[in-house]
Amino acid sequence: MSLFRDDGIVLRTQKLGEADRIITLLTRGHGRVRAVARGVRRTKSKFGARLEPFSHVDVQFFARGSELVGRGLPLCTQSETIAPYGGAIVTDYARYTAGTAMLETAERFTDHEGEPAVQQYLLLVGGLRTLAGGEHAPNLVLDAFLLRSLAVNGYAPSFGACARCGMPGPNRWFSVAAGGVVCGECRVPGSVVPSAESLTLLGALLTGDWATADASEPRHVREGSGLVAAYLHWHLERGLRSLRYVEK
């Protein structure tokens, strides 16, 4: 049997039996972890209140080797709140839908439980902090998070140089299958021609140039979000359910 401690973001909770929950977290050191939290659905459980989606928590886990605990999952035995981002997120519809899509994306990009995904973890913590802070539009925070998640998982789209031959930008055509913008020589069937401003916005979101991103016009933000969603869906095989509810 072993005790281990880690901090993480609560991605999701599911009911287990009468009073328990299975908590899914993206942790700093152990990647995605599912664990059983006992008694957390009793109304006066402070422990349960801390283990809600969007919370950044420090958790002590107890694993019993080969002996089954719950469904063979480790137990959460203690938790401390590091930052309760949920409070500022769930009370605002646009933040909530963007945040839910961020949690779902983080889970989808961490297929293997227990496999460290430090960059994805850091992106999620930073993204939720920015979303809760409210200084940028929630859909921009979401798109920045999605683009950077694609990048740290090996699918960085190009918005300047041609994704195929490297010809310096600006390049007009955009192809999800080709990996971003492509030049006239490399354009493939199905390429679209987004506005130059939308491509500039996406490049700014990928690199963290918030001054450029915040100054973008709504129509370019909408077009950019569409390209991000198409690119993400291509790489995740099927669409993220929660993206449908994000206000455009």
Q: Does 162 bind Zn ion (CB under 5 A)?
A: yes
As measured in angstroms, the least distance from the Cβ of 166 to Zn ion is: 7
Among 176, 186, 229, 243, binds Zn ion (CB under 5 A): 186
Whose Cβ is closer to Zn ion: residue 162's or residue 229's? Answer: 162
Give dist(CA 86, CA 95) in Å, integer: 10
Using CA atoms of 85, 204, 98, 243 in order, give the dihedral in degrees to the nearest 10.
-150
As measured in angstroms, the least distance from the Cβ of 80 to Zn ion is: 52
Q: Which amino acid is at 133?
A: G
Which residues lie closer than 8 Å to 78 by C-beta, 6 or more apart?
47, 59, 60
Whose Cβ is closer to Zn ion: residue 162's or residue 206's? Answer: 162
Give dist(CA 244, CA 248) in Å, integer: 10
As measured in angstroms, the least distance from the Cβ of 234 to Zn ion is: 19
Q: Determine whether 40 is exposed, middle or buried from the number of CB atoms within 10 Å of its CB (0-12, 13-18, 19+).
A: buried
Whose Cβ is closer to Zn ion: residue 165's or residue 193's? Answer: 165
As measured in angstroms, the least distance from the Cβ of 203 to Zn ion is: 17
Q: Which stretch binds Zn ion (CB under 5 A): 43-51, 77-85, 177-185, 238-246?
A: 177-185
DSSP for 12-66 reads EEEEETTTEEEEEEEETTTEEEEEEETTTTSTT-HHHHHSSTTEEEEEEEEE-TT
In the chain, the DSSP E strands lie at: 2-16, 20-27, 31-37, 55-63, 75-84, 173-175, 180-182
Among 3, 122, 165, 193, binds Zn ion (CB under 5 A): 165
Q: What residues numbered 16-75 form the site for Zn ion, per CB under 5 A?
A: none
Query: Which residue is associated with the tokens 């789209």?
Result: 157
Count of residues of this chain found to bind Zn ion when the rule CB under 5 A is applied: 6
Whose Cβ is closer to Zn ion: residue 142's or residue 186's? Answer: 186
Q: Does 188 bind Zn ion (CB under 5 A)?
A: no
Give dist(CA 118, CA 185) in Å, integer: 38
Cβ atoms 62, 73 nearer than 8 A: no
Q: Does 122 bind Zn ion (CB under 5 A)?
A: no
Q: Which stretch binds Zn ion (CB under 5 A): 34-42, 86-94, 167-175, 215-223?
A: 167-175
The two three-digit tokens of residue 35, written as one number: 């664990």
Among 21, 164, 187, 220, binds Zn ion (CB under 5 A): 164
Q: Which stretch binds Zn ion (CB under 5 A): 20-28, 66-74, 133-141, 163-171?
A: 163-171
Whose Cβ is closer to Zn ion: residue 28's or residue 164's? Answer: 164
Query: By the criterion CB under 5 A, which residues form the site for Zn ion?
Result: 162, 164-165, 167, 183, 186
